[in-house]
Amino acid sequence: MFFGSIDKREFGATTEGIAVQEYTLVNKNGVMMKVLTYGGIIRELWVPDKNGNFVDIVLGFDSLEEYERNPGYLGALIGRFANRIAYGKFEIDGVTYQLALNDKGRPNALHGGYKGFNKKVWKAFDEITPNGPILTLKYFSHDGDEGFPGDLDVSVTYTLTNENELKIDYTATTNRPTIVNLTQHTYFNLAGGGKIYDHIVVLNADKYTPVNENLIPTGDIMPVEDTLYDLRKETRLGDAIEKLKNSNAKGYDNNFVLNSEFAAKVYEPSTGISMELYTTQPGLQFYTGNYLPGLNGKRGQNYDAHTGFCLETQHFPDSPNHENFPNTVLRPGEIYKHRSVFKFGII
């Protein structure tokens, strides 16, 4: 019986001379995903549309050189701390730590620093199971890496199930108190290209965390009711983004406080492709690709504003500096453990 397949090929070497591999995972239904050991990047993800044709629904590049630049974090694993930390400062047990301020003109630490997990080469281990092919990526981050305390032993497992799900399991352990917030920064476009305006989205969130001019949470947890952030009913993205065109973010770039493990559902009428997201994380950064600068993508596509969206499962931004937010401190003897599941279908 065919449970799926895994193939590996060389994908060049980094500017530091480290070899990078690309793994191709295929489940028994023909759903295919390509993953790089560089940054744990999901480079391609092919799922069937309503006519039985396979569509690549993620944004990406053709070469490793482009991924080494990758200003939008396309497809990448993010760590040690996803999203923003105000002024790059946080405190654990009375000790203050200072991170690099790498947020393009804003005084924040962003997505783990100048060389976060998105720019590391991970060790890969693959296996085929009755549930589908599995790729496990491991990285050991030393004490002081990008300013974070403690060694951090990280494992991320991608499972492409035979139910057409992508399961992502994150685990981490440390030898000193530290902070951890891991996510995956894939940009989706369920039409396979073009603007995302016709996508229909639902977010299962009654509340969100408002931000200041530097995109840092104010500390409030506010109801979405009667705001532009109420996406609890089916909403066409183009209509929603139009109402935010004069906002600081020029679209959505917000953390939503999830009601349950069911986080979101998105579908695209022209292809009929749907995607449901489930997660153990408390928050979801919904980002509509507002800052994509016109990148040259795969197969000659142009990635400018609103050509992809991200559903980044996470703890809230700047959590270490807000006592009322869920805790992101990891201590020796504890295990950081979260799962996110993207389930693909047809409507």
* Cis peptide upstream of residue 80 (ω within 30 degrees of 0): yes
* R_g of the chain computed on alpha carbons: 19
Residues annotated within a binding site = 83-84, 185-187, 253
In the set 22, 111, 312, 315, the catalytic residue is 312
Report the C-alpha gap between 154 and 211 in whole angstroms. 30
185 given a catalytic annotation:
yes
Point out the catalytic residue in the list 111, 146, 165, 185. 185
Report the binding-site residues for beta-D-galactose.
83-84, 185-187, 253
Instruction: Identify which of 77, 173, 163 has the alpha carbon closest to the alpha carbon of residue 118.
Output: 77
Beta bridge partners of 155: 138, 171
- DSSP three-state, residue 28: coil
Instruction: DSSP letter for 240, please.
Output: H
Would you call 312 a catalytic residue per the annotation? yes
Taking the C-alpha atoms of residue 228 and residue 125, their distance in angstroms, rounded to an integer, is 43
In the chain, what is the straight-line distance between the N-terminal and C-terminal CA atoms, in Å? 29
Beta strands 200-203 and 207-208, pairing class:
unpaired
Structural tokens at position 129: 């199971």
- Helix/strand/coil for 68: helix
Q: How many helices (H) and strands (E) does the chain have?
A: 2, 29
CA 21 – CA 19 distance, rounded (Å): 7
Q: Which residues are catalytic?
A: 185, 312
